[in-house]
Chain A
């Protein structure tokens, strides 16, 4: 937050006199102001000869603060926005789309959890090819060199018209719509996301409909542990940054989370307790290798029934 001393040109009420008054209460910025009891502050203006002007200054800062939070909206406005702008994007896999009532929703941070080779990256690539084909641009953030343009091409040729010319053109359009970036640490991820956010605000990048991070857990797990709060703070910050992007710019975000060994031979998601409250939707993938069947179950969803035992709501994804 800017210091008061740098704000005078915009707000003439924050003059040296007002700043001195605030400094006597150890207030130097809007942030400090937030932590102070305003009633005490207003009362203490009475001891000064120009209390009226000081009070005006306090009201001025309050107006600034009022512009710092998100706007209040009512339920109807929220619903209108959701119905207009928060559509579902198809993943290209018919059984998944039917299962999720249309696919992955804009405005949602969706997480795929599953052990290695359970099909997480395959679903990501499939969704990328399907969305890039008819919905718009995709940012694919790749932390493990798992992006395969060949696989995307396969998906496109499977679904497209058989005539060779058409396939070529469709393929080109799809590939042009996918921006793949290699990200190997959390700081690069922050940099990329902040850059993206600024571009979206200044409307440089438009029609981005999806961000895929495969896998987010491999970027976050190295910074966790060691007893400090910093790692967790970075993790939660990434979560909030993603949620801000998905809500304000109507982007669908898909991240993957791998599994590690837990207690008594079970496996658990690599990002555990503190992460599980962050995504809107958590989907668990598992795969039966002998029968070549994958299944998906819902761990959390805002309005679909959560299946705790994961016995219901399963779908089988036969290998295409």
Chain B
């Protein structure tokens, strides 16, 4: 009777529950174009787009936000001061793009802060110029060390990485004193063709229950492993996926759904009208597709000419489907929304 009563009474109040969840799985402020939707640890975000469409750069900007401290020596940097794990399946990551952006960001925040102070105390532009060009070596190194990187050359290595990730997470947590907030995978479809071509029945031994590294079994294992890791270590998962936009598959897709729209004019204006039409060619197995909780489409935008040298990209949330399309570009120190 007592135990039944205890069961009915519940373990915690809604308020306790909410505060616990919010501290364990907090919302993470992310730079544009990921800012539209509140994302928190446990979510799986997929950034889809043709190659190139700045997908990796979006990841890098989010990583910088995460590895920078909130404040350092009295200057506000607005970071999260947490670790980032970056799994590079494309094997194309160039660390200079991270280090340059991080430096620029530090210099910019220094400039903002110093400029602000100088305006109050004394208006000397010469003094502020010196600080502008400088950045804190120590802050830079500390932040860079919070960025953890691994590259995988095939699905076997990717699975081996995920299987042993729990130990790695534990180790890094102890070494740095803080946990990992972001898990990045760039890009999830990198081994698609290799896995698709591998035989579904392993050669040699004939055993119907034995699995082999096929597209289906690899995706199932990847999803399963990430799910298990997320239970113990709540992180926000950011993945990218290269997909082609306007090829024959799209046309066929549109015809099949009975909507005869001209696919070559799929510009930002009629995305809204044809939101239910698949805008890119989906190729990952359904087990991965249903694992993704948020999906954003990015693509190069045509009207670059107005803004001189910087290419413009447009982004659109497909899951949940928002009827807003953002245009953004990259400066030296980060991503900016244009309209």
Footprint of B on A, CB under 8 Å? 1, 26-28, 31-32, 34-39, 62, 65-66, 68-76, 78-79, 81-82, 107-108, 228-230, 232-233, 235-237, 240, 243-244, 247, 273-274, 276-278, 280, 299-300, 302-303, 305-309, 311-313
Tell which of A68, A76, A307 touches B160, judged by Cβ atoms closer than 8 Å: A68
Q: Given A75-B95, A308-B304: A247 and B151 within 8 A (CB)?
A: yes
Tell which of A79, A236, A243, A247 touches B144, judged by Cβ atoms closer than 8 Å: A79
Q: When the two chains form their complex, are residues B194 and A233 in contact, meaning their CB atoms are under 8 A apart? A: yes
- Interface positions of B from 290 to 338, Cβ below 8 Å from A: 300, 304-305, 309-311
Q: Which residues of B contact A274 (CB under 8 A)?
A: 193
Footprint of A on B, CB under 8 Å? 51-52, 56, 67, 90-100, 141, 143-154, 156-161, 163-164, 167-168, 187, 190-194, 196-198, 205, 207, 209-213, 217-218, 220-221, 224, 228, 242, 244, 247, 300, 304-305, 309-311
Q: When the two chains form their complex, are residues A75 and B147 in contact, meaning their CB atoms are under 8 A apart? A: yes
Alpha-carbon distance A277/B150, docked complex (angstroms)? 19
Q: Which residues of B contact A278 (CB under 8 A)?
A: 92
Given A26-B207, A32-B212, A235-B193, 8 more A-B residue pairs with CB atoms under 8 Å apart are A68-B156, A74-B147, A74-B149, A247-B91, A277-B187, A277-B242, A307-B309, A308-B300
Alpha-carbon distance A39/B229, docked complex (angstroms)? 12
- Counting from the closest, the 8 A-B pairs by CB-CB distance are A233-B197, A75-B147, A302-B94, A75-B144, A232-B193, A303-B97, A26-B209, A229-B196
Tell which of B145, B160, B197 touches A69, judged by Cβ atoms closer than 8 Å: B160
Q: When the two chains form their complex, are residues B148 and A74 in contact, meaning their CB atoms are under 8 A apart? A: yes
Tell which of B94, B147, B213 touches A31, judged by Cβ atoms closer than 8 Å: B213
Tell which of B52, B141, B152 touches A76, judged by Cβ atoms closer than 8 Å: B141
Most chain B CB within a 10 A radius of its CB, from A37, A237, A277, A305: A277
Q: Which residues of A contact B218 (CB under 8 A)?
A: 35
Q: When the two chains form their complex, are residues A303 and B210 in contact, meaning their CB atoms are under 8 A apart? A: no
- When C-beta atoms are compared, the residue in chain B nearest to A78 turns out to be B95
Alpha-carbon distance A220/B114, docked complex (angstroms)? 56
Ordered by A's residue number, 9 sampled pairs between the chains whose C-beta atoms are within 8 Å are: A62-B163, A62-B164, A70-B152, A72-B148, A73-B149, A74-B148, A228-B197, A305-B311, A308-B300
Q: When the two chains form their complex, are residues B150 and A72 in contact, meaning their CB atoms are under 8 A apart? A: yes
The smallest C-beta distance from A238 to any residue of chain B, in angstroms, reads 11
Q: When the two chains form their complex, are residues A232 and B197 in contact, meaning their CB atoms are under 8 A apart? A: yes
The smallest C-beta distance from A263 to any residue of chain B, in angstroms, reads 10
Tell which of B145, B160, B305 touches A75, judged by Cβ atoms closer than 8 Å: B145
Q: When the two chains form their complex, are residues B197 and A230 in contact, meaning their CB atoms are under 8 A apart? A: yes
Q: Which residues of B contact A240 (CB under 8 A)?
A: 91, 153-154, 194
Q: Which residues of B contact A228 (CB under 8 A)?
A: 197
The smallest C-beta distance from B53 to any residue of chain A, in angstroms, reads 10
Q: Which residues of B contact A302 (CB under 8 A)?
A: 56, 92-94, 96-97
Q: Given A70-B150, A233-B197, A277-B242: A306 and B311 within 8 A (CB)?
A: yes
The smallest C-beta distance from B113 to any residue of chain A, in angstroms, reads 24
Alpha-carbon distance A85/B99, docked complex (angstroms)? 16
The smallest C-beta distance from B281 to any residue of chain A, in angstroms, reads 9
Alpha-carbon distance A229/B215, docked complex (angstroms)? 12
Q: Which residues of B contact A311 (CB under 8 A)?
A: 305
